[in-house]
Structure 1
Amino acid sequence: MARSSLTREEVLAAAAGLVRQHGPDALTMRKLAAELGTAVTSIYWHVGNREQLLDALVERTVQDMGAVRPVGRTPAERIVSVARGLRRELRARPHLIAMVHERGLTERMFLPAQQALVHEVHAAGLRGARAADAVRAVQFQVVGFVLVERNRERSPAQSPAETELWDDPAAAGAAAPDDPALTHALTRPADPERLFLLSVRALVRSLLAPAG
């Protein structure tokens, strides 16, 4: 039995869920109607045709990405929190982010995060071109890190893996014969969350350091 009441927001939320799980190609009006337990005509009434639905999803994603809010006691802590939030949001919705990019709205999507970063670099005393460089450096760091993560996750299984290569005494000895702790650490899988925090904190510390 079809649902008698349905809101546009419920339709968009269900559509976004399907895209997040299976990609844009899996989003059909029939699948969406089945997911919501309603008639296809009801979906059309709320969001129009499929292209209009995709446009609405893109707009919703842009708005959601604007919800990143800084937290922390210092400008440096708040900048790191924006970077963490941006990474989390980008990783949570890769298919939707790709749709935003395809429609030429990537820069608009990043604007709220950039505005938050501008406020914090100003609070840290940066102005002009140096402040702009700091904002972009943090943004590029986040986006680049996410792209590397996604590439590693989607790549075929490596044989031998990095950890196995560094477990080879000959290779480890040739690269760092006087640093066994380093080679031992490289035999363990990378921790992306720890590496992200390490890199972004180091970047922010460098960017906010007094000039000269």
Structure 2
Amino acid sequence: MPRVQLTREDVLDAATRLVVQHGPQDLTMRKLAAELGTAVTSIYWHVGNRESLLDALVERTVQEMGALVPRGRTPVDRVVSVARALRRELRARPHLIAMVHERGLTERMFLPAQQALVHEVHAAGLRGARAAGVVRAVQFQVVGHVLVERNRERSPVQSPAEADLWSPDLAEHDPALARALARPADPERVFVVSVRALVGALLGAAAG
């Protein structure tokens, strides 16, 4: 079958895959051409030079981060759903997010998520500085949690491990607590519990 004509989106899709897998330092025009089975000159024709290609990847990442759709029936559920979606997107593309940050576009990237949070916070009855406080608190909670997760994933093997440290005596004679803390943490569960508690408290205070 004859090859379908290459498009700019094809080039950006392939470049995104390479960056996600190996980081931007390994993205070269030759590797990208090999990935697409085409000539290097064709890559240049579609996206310009390497810097133009990186700029295009950053711009597309910023745009894609805007597709966060709140879900749930209650204000707390909907705010938590935005936070979960934002965490998922940040974790899925760390190299691309780093590129966005290096180009000074981090605040612009977060704007759609902030707007989604503003809409839900307004729906919950908050306005002004109190609404802004909730939006910022949720955003900082998401970013902070992602940074902690990545730090734990990159850290060397711990010896002794958490499972070796906890005993009923250390847990103030609470064996169930000791067993729970000896098990590996579930980052998703920890995230949802903390964000739900934060949002519930902030929106609940507003309702009160």
User: Residue 194 of structure 1 aligns with which residue?
Assistant: 189
Q: Deviations over 1:71-125 (max 9, x none)?
A: 1112211101100000000000000000000000000000000000000000000
TM-score (norm 2): 0.96
CA distance, structure 2, for counterparts of residue 107 and residue 5 of structure 1: 36
Instruction: Tell whether the 8 Å contact from 1:118 to 1:131 is kept in structure 2 after alignment.
Output: yes
User: Residue 87 of structure 1 aligns with which residue?
Assistant: 87
The ranges of structure 1 where at least 4 consecutive aligned residues each deviate by more than 4 angstroms after the TM superposition are none
User: Residue 181 of structure 1 aligns with which residue?
Assistant: 176
Instruction: Tell whether the 8 Å contact from 1:68 to 1:113 is kept in structure 2 after alignment.
Output: yes
Structure 2 SS opposite 1:210: helix
Q: CA deviation at 1:3?
A: 5.1
What are the residue-to-residue correspondences of 1:33-72 with 2, within 5 Å?
A: 33-72=33-72
Instruction: Tell whether the 8 Å contact from 1:58 to 1:99 is kept in structure 2 after alignment.
Output: yes
Gaps of 5+ in 2: none
Structure 2 SS opposite 1:178: coil
Q: CA deviation at 1:178?
A: 2.9
Structure 2 SS opposite 1:209: helix
CA distance, structure 1, for counterparts of residue 93 and residue 80 of structure 2: 21
CA distance, structure 2, for counterparts of residue 177 and residue 41 of structure 1: 68
Q: CA deviation at 1:69?
A: 1.0
User: Residue 25 of structure 1 aligns with which residue?
Assistant: 25
Specify the code of the residue in structure 1 equivalent to 2:147: L
What are the residue-to-residue correspondences of 1:111-190 with 2, within 5 Å?
A: 111-166=111-166, 169=167, 172-173=168-169, 175-190=170-185
TM-score (norm 1): 0.94
CA distance, structure 2, for counterparts of residue 110 and residue 150 of structure 1: 19
Q: CA deviation at 1:177?
A: 2.8
Gaps of 5+ in 1: none
CA distance, structure 1, for counterparts of residue 137 and residue 4 of structure 2: 50
Instruction: Tell whether the 8 Å contact from 1:3 to 1:37 is kept in structure 2 after alignment.
Output: no
Q: Deviations over 1:150-200 (max 9, x none)?
A: 00001111111112111xx4xx41x33331111111111101111111111
| RMSD value, Cα | 1.3
